[in-house]
Structure 1
Amino acid sequence: MSDAGDWVGDWSARRAALSPDRPALTDATTGESWTYAEMDARANRTARLLREFGVADGERVAVVSRNRPELVDLVFACGKTGGVFAPLSHRLAPPELAELFENVDPELVVVEEPFDGDVADAVPEDADVLSLTTDGDHRWDDFGAHVPDDDSPVETPDLSTDDPFMFLHTGGSTGTPKETVLTHGSVTWNATNTVTAWGLRPGDATPMVFPMFHTGGWNVLTMPLFHVGGHVVVARDFDPGEVLNLVEEYDASVLVAVPAVLRMMTEHDDWPDTDLSTLRFAKSGGGPCRRAVMETYWDRGVDLSQGYGLTECGPNNFAMPDGWDREKADSVGVPAMHVDARIVDGDGERVDQGEVGELELRGPHAAAGYWRAPEETADAFGVPAVDDPTTVDADDYWVSTGDLCRVDADGYHYIEGRKKNMFVSGGENVYPPEVEDALADHPGVSEVVVIGVPDDTWGTVGKAIVQGDDSLTVEDFDSFLDGRLARFKHPHHVAFVDDMPTSGPSKIDRDALRERFGGGTE
C-alpha cells in the first residue's frame, strides 16, 4: 500500500482506524446500519469490483440511482482506485442521459433497477452495466453478485489534490447539464471549511435529504461528516413527515434542506409533537428561505440560518458567526475559513460596500472546471480554455457565481438573486428576492416568484406568480406593499399556480415559470 497521497480514497480506512465502532451510515429504507470499520471493508470489496471493470486512474463509473449505501461504497472505492465517481440524475429523460453518458464516457455504469428502462435507452451499446436490484427481474447482472468477498486493504495509488475525484453535473434547466470536475483537493477543502466554519463534531448525525446526484447530497454534509466521524442516514425517498421522524429516531444534530422541505416540515401534522431538541443547528440552501419559516424553527429552539453554495465552488462558502444577530437572518453570513469572496461590477472591478454586484469566490475548495467544455470553463472560472481543467493551476482565478450580492458594514453577505433574474423598471434595478420576501408575508401567499415581463411604459415590470389564494389581485398586493417597498418594485401583474414547478432537489424552476408566464398579462 502507498503510504502517502491517498487523499479521499484513504478517508474510509483512516476513519475506520480512528473510530472503528462508531456508526457511519444507516439505510432508513431497510433499517441496516454500518460502522466505519464495516464501511471501509465494503469500500475495499467495491474497489476490487471497480478494478475488474477498469475503473482506475481517472476512468469513470457512472451511477443512476436514488440514495443507497452502494453509492457510498462506490465513492470510497473510486478514491481507493483513483477512479472518478459520476452520479447522474435519475430524473433526466433518456436523450438527456444519453448526452451525459457520451460526455462522461464511463468504463462502468451502475443503475438502480427502477431506472433500467431509461438507462437502456441511453447507455452506449458496448458499455458494461450492473444493476442495483430491488425486487423482480432486472436487465443486467446484479451489482452485488460481482462484489468479491475479499475485504482486506487494497493497494491505493499515489494521488494529487489536483486529480479528479467526482463529476457532478450542474442543475441547469436548459440544455444538457455540464459535468463539473471536483478534485480530491476540492472535496477535502470543502469538508475542512464545513467542519471548521459550521462546527461539525464527531458523532453528529443527519438525515440526508438531498439526492446523491447533486452536490448537496455529497458535499453539503455527507463528505464533511465522514471526514469528522459523523453519522449519515439515507433513504430511497424522503417526505417531510419521515424527515421529522428520523430527526427524532436518530437524535439528529444537524439538518440541511431546501426551503420548500423546511417549510413542508413545519406544515406537517407531526411538527408540533416531534422532539427537535437534539438539533444543534439547521441550514437552508438552494434558494432564499422565508423569514416566517425561519421564525417557526427559532420558536422551537432550532438555530436555522441560510447557507450558500454552488456545484462549481464548495458548495459551503459562508457561515453565521457565533451569537449572530437575528436581524442578519436574510444574509448567508461571512466567508468560511478558506474562502475568498469579492463583489464586482460588469468590468470586474470591486464595488463599494453596500452596493450590489456579482459575487465571485476563490479558494482551494473550488472545482477545477467543466469536463470537455473549455469555453464554458474559461467563462465561469476565468482559466485558459482546455478540455481537461485539472491541468490548469487555478489558485489565482475567481469563480463567477452569476449571483448578485452585497456586503454590509459587518461583513455579512446578502444574495440579491441571479444576474439573469434582475430586471430594470423605469431605470431602476429590481431584485426579485426582495419583492418575493415582502409578498411572502401576505397571509394568502404560500409561495411566490417574481419575474420581469415587457411593458410599453416602463420597459419591464414585475409579475408575481403565486401559489395560494387565487382571489388576490394586483390592487391587494399594492395595498399590502405600500410602506414596505418602493412603488417601482410592486408587481404590475399576478398569475396563479396550483404548485410551483421544480428542478434539481426541490428548487423552484424559474425558467419554466418565465417560459409560461413571461408574456406580461396572463
Structure 2
Amino acid sequence: MSAAEWVGAWSEKRAALSPERVGLVDAATGTEYTYADLDRRANRCARLLADHGVTADPDDESAETAGRVAVVSRNRPEYVDLFFATGKTGGVLAPLSHRLAPRELAELFATVDPHLVVVEEAFAGLVDDAADEDTWSADAPVLSLPVGAAEGGKEDGSASGATTWEPYEAALPDDGSTFDGPAVDADDPHLFLHTGGSTGTPKETVVSHEALVWNSLNTITAWGLRDDDVTPMVFPMFHTGGWNVLTLPIFHMGGTVVVDREFDPGQILGVVDERSATVLVAVPAVLRMMTDHDRWTETDLSSLRFVKSGGGPCRESVMEAWWDRGVDLSQGYGLTECGPNNFAMPDDWPREKAHTVGVANVHVDARVVDDDGQSLPADEIGELQLRSPHAADGYWSSPEESAETFGEWVSTGDLARVDDEGYVSIEGRKKNMFVSGGENVYPAEVEDAIVDHPAVADAVVVPVPDDQWGQVGKAVVELRDGGGELPLDGLREFLDGRLARFKHPRHLAFVDELPTSGPDKIDREAVAAEFGE
C-alpha cells in the first residue's frame, strides 16, 4: 500500500477487492477496463505526473504548492487515469471546457497555472488560439491525446490541423507497479472544477479529497447504489456532473461506467439496452430528447432501477413519459460548490411531490433563509443554503468571492421553499427573480405553467421594462414539432386559473431551439441578452 490515502488509494483498494470486475467501458473503441487495469494505468500515469511536478510538495504542506495538470478533452479513459493518478501524487486535476472561446480558456489556464497540459488533438486549434492570448504565458509542456478515425480524426489518430505535441501514450512510463506517493491529507485539493461562468470568467472551485469521498458516500447511501450498477456517463468530465454525480460513486461501489466522446440520445438508449444500464442521470433536455427519439419505444428500459434529472427543472410531461415506461424518474439538485448530490426522494414517494428535489441526504443539512440570513418557516421562499462535509473549500485565488459563498453554510444563490414534510422545491435563481407591480415573480414557476401547454416544448421567461408595472415577463418559447401557432392571448387564456395574472407574460417570442451551455443546460443568460432588458 502506498502512503497516499483518500483518493490516492481508491483505485488500488478497488483493484484489490474486485480486480477482474469491469470498471470502465470506452464506447468509442469498445474497450473494457477492469479495476486492475485502471490501477495499473493510474500508476503509470502517476509516474508521468511526478516527472512533471504534478505532485504534492513533501517539504511544504501548503495546498498552494500542489502541482496541477490541466486537461482539454472529451470524455475518455485517459481522464480517469489522470484522476486516479493525481490522487496518488497529491497533485490537482483541472479539467477545462472545450466549449469555451479562446480568450475564456486562456483566462482559465492563467488561473490554474498548470505544470502540465493534456489536450485531445480535436482541440489543438482552440488551445493554440488560447496560447496566442496575452492572459496566458503557455509555457507548460503539452501532451496530446489522439482522435481515432471513428471519432472524426485521421487514420493515424491525429486531427486535421493539430499542433504536433508529444503523444500522451508515448510519454507514459512502462512501470505499472504500485506508486509510492506522498501522504495526502483529507483537506488537500484534488479537483479544480470551474463554474458555469454566467457572469464574467468562470471561477475554479477547489474540491478536496475529503469532499469527493463524502459526496460519494452521500450518493451511495441516499440513492442506494450497488456494485452491479452500470451507467452511461453523459455529463462532460470538465463538469462536476462528469465526476461527482455518478462516476466516482459507481467506482466507489465497484460498478461500471460507460464513456464516449459524445453521447446523443439514440446512443444513450443503445447503451441502456445493450449494457443493461441500471441508473442514469441526465439534464432535462437530454431526457426529453430520448423520449422523442425513434428508438424510444423499442428500447428495453426494464434494467433501469432509477433515472434522475439534474441541471434545471424537468417538465412534468417528460417525467410522465418515463413513468409511463415504468421508470422511476425524479429530480435532483446540486452545484459545483457543494456536492452536487444533496437530495433524494424517500422510499415510495408520492407523485404529487414530483416537482420537488426530495429531502436532504444523510450527511447534508439544508435551510431556506431571508436576506438577513434568518431561517424561514415552511412554504416561504428564500435562498437555499447547504451544509455538508462534501462542500468545496472555496474558489481558487478568489478570496472575496469565496467569502460571499462559503462559510458555515454554502450560499447557493438559488431560491427554494421547504414544505411541512421536508420536501424542497427549487424556485429558480435568486438573481432571476423580478418585481412586477410590487409583486415578486419567479420565472421557474411561470415556465413550469407555460410548458404544460400542449404546443410548448420548453420556455424561458425573462423580465423586460414596462411603463406601468416596472417590469413584466417575456416568454421565449420553443414549440413542439407540429405545435402550430401560439398567440399571446391564447397563452394567457391557458394560464388563467394556473397563475396569478401579474405572473402572466405580457410579451412572447419564439425560437427554433433554446440555446444551451455547459452540459446541455438552457443558457438563460443568452436568452436574456437577446430578448430581455
TM-score for both structures, normalised by structure 2: 0.93
Q: Quote how far apart the aligned CAs of 1:84 are.
A: 0.4
Q: Is the contact between residue 2 and residue 178 of structure 2 (CA under 8 Å) also seen in structure 1?
A: no
Q: Quote how far apart the aligned CAs of 1:411 are.
A: 0.3
Q: Distance in 2 between matches of 1:188 and 1:7?
A: 7
Q: Is the contact between residue 111 and residue 129 of structure 1 (CA under 8 Å) also seen in structure 2?
A: yes
Q: Quote how far apart the aligned CAs of 1:230 are.
A: 1.0
The equivalent of 1:392 in structure 2 is: none
Give the letter aligned to residue 310 of structure 1. Answer: L
Which of 75, 80, 86 is residue 78 of structure 1 equivalent to? 86
The equivalent of 2:50 in structure 1 is: 51
The equivalent of 1:202 in structure 2 is: 227
The equivalent of 2:61 in structure 1 is: none
- 1:31 pairs with 2:27: no
The equivalent of 1:443 in structure 2 is: 454
Deviations 1:368-417 (A, max 9, x none): 000000000001113xxxxxxxxxxxxxx110000000001110000000
Q: How does 1:293-304 map to 2 (within 5 A)?
A: 293-304=318-329
Paired residues, what number?
504
Deviations 1:405-451 (A, max 9, x none): 00011100000000011111112111111111111011111111111
- 1:453 pairs with 2:460: no
- 1:118 pairs with 2:126: yes
Deviations 1:230-250 (A, max 9, x none): 100000011000000011111
The equivalent of 1:412 in structure 2 is: 423
The equivalent of 1:494 in structure 2 is: 508
Q: Quote how far apart the aligned CAs of 1:471 are.
A: 2.7
Deviation beyond 3 Å, 4+ runs, structure 1: none
The equivalent of 2:109 in structure 1 is: 101
Give the letter aligned to residue 91 of structure 2. Answer: G
Deviations 1:128-162 (A, max 9, x none): 00000122365200000011111100102211111
Q: Quote how far apart the aligned CAs of 1:470 are.
A: 6.8
Structure 1 gaps of 5+ residues are: 383-396
Deviations 1:338-369 (A, max 9, x none): 00111000000011111000000011000000
Q: Distance in 2 between matches of 1:411 and 1:174?
A: 32
Q: How does 1:32-431 map to 2 (within 5 A)?
A: 32-57=31-56, 58-123=66-131, 124-134=137-147, 135-136=157-158, 138-382=163-407, 397-431=408-442
Q: Distance in 2 between matches of 1:238 and 1:271?
A: 15
Q: Is the contact between residue 6 and residue 156 of structure 1 (CA under 8 Å) also seen in structure 2?
A: no
Q: Is the contact between residue 173 and residue 503 of structure 1 (CA under 8 Å) also seen in structure 2?
A: no
Deviations 1:3-52 (A, max 9, x none): 5x610111100001111111100000000011111111110111111111
Q: Distance in 2 between matches of 1:30 and 1:125?
A: 32
Q: Is the contact between residue 27 and residue 234 of structure 1 (CA under 8 Å) also seen in structure 2?
A: yes
Q: Distance in 2 between matches of 1:449 and 1:311?
A: 23
Q: 1:95 to 1:295 in 2, by over 3 A?
A: same
The equivalent of 1:483 in structure 2 is: 497
Q: Is the contact between residue 406 and residue 415 of structure 1 (CA under 8 Å) also seen in structure 2?
A: yes
- Percent sequence identity is 67
Q: Distance in 2 between matches of 1:234 and 1:2?
A: 28
Q: Is the contact between residue 481 and residue 490 of structure 1 (CA under 8 Å) also seen in structure 2?
A: yes
Q: Distance in 1 between matches of 2:492 and 2:190?
A: 52
Q: Distance in 2 between matches of 1:157 and 1:224?
A: 24
The equivalent of 2:62 in structure 1 is: none
The equivalent of 1:506 in structure 2 is: 520
Q: Is the contact between residue 125 and residue 163 of structure 2 (CA under 8 Å) also seen in structure 1?
A: no
Q: Distance in 1 between matches of 2:381 and 2:411?
A: 15
**Secondary structure in structure 1 of the residue aligned to 2:431:** coil
**Secondary structure in structure 2 of the residue aligned to 1:286:** coil
**Secondary structure in structure 1 of the residue aligned to 2:379:** coil
Give the letter aligned to residue 523 of structure 2. Answer: D
Q: Distance in 2 between matches of 1:156 and 1:227?
A: 21
Give the letter aligned to residue 128 of structure 1. Answer: P
Q: Quote how far apart the aligned CAs of 1:483 are.
A: 1.3
Q: Quote how far apart the aligned CAs of 1:125 are.
A: 3.7
The equivalent of 1:14 in structure 2 is: 13
**Secondary structure in structure 2 of the residue aligned to 1:274:** coil
**Secondary structure in structure 2 of the residue aligned to 1:271:** coil
Q: Distance in 1 between matches of 2:8 and 2:320?
A: 41
Give the letter aligned to residue 31 of structure 2. Answer: E
Give the letter aligned to residue 339 of structure 1. Answer: V
Q: Is the contact between residue 20 and residue 37 of structure 1 (CA under 8 Å) also seen in structure 2?
A: yes
Q: Quote how far apart the aligned CAs of 1:174 are.
A: 3.0
Q: Distance in 2 between matches of 1:233 and 1:364?
A: 28
**Secondary structure in structure 1 of the residue aligned to 2:391:** coil
Q: Distance in 1 between matches of 2:505 and 2:11?
A: 53
Q: Distance in 2 between matches of 1:65 and 1:416?
A: 34
The equivalent of 1:387 in structure 2 is: none
The equivalent of 1:386 in structure 2 is: none
Give the letter aligned to residue 297 of structure 1. Answer: W
The equivalent of 2:154 in structure 1 is: none
**Secondary structure in structure 2 of the residue aligned to 1:273:** coil
**Secondary structure in structure 2 of the residue aligned to 1:117:** helix
Q: Is the contact between residue 503 and residue 509 of structure 1 (CA under 8 Å) also seen in structure 2?
A: yes
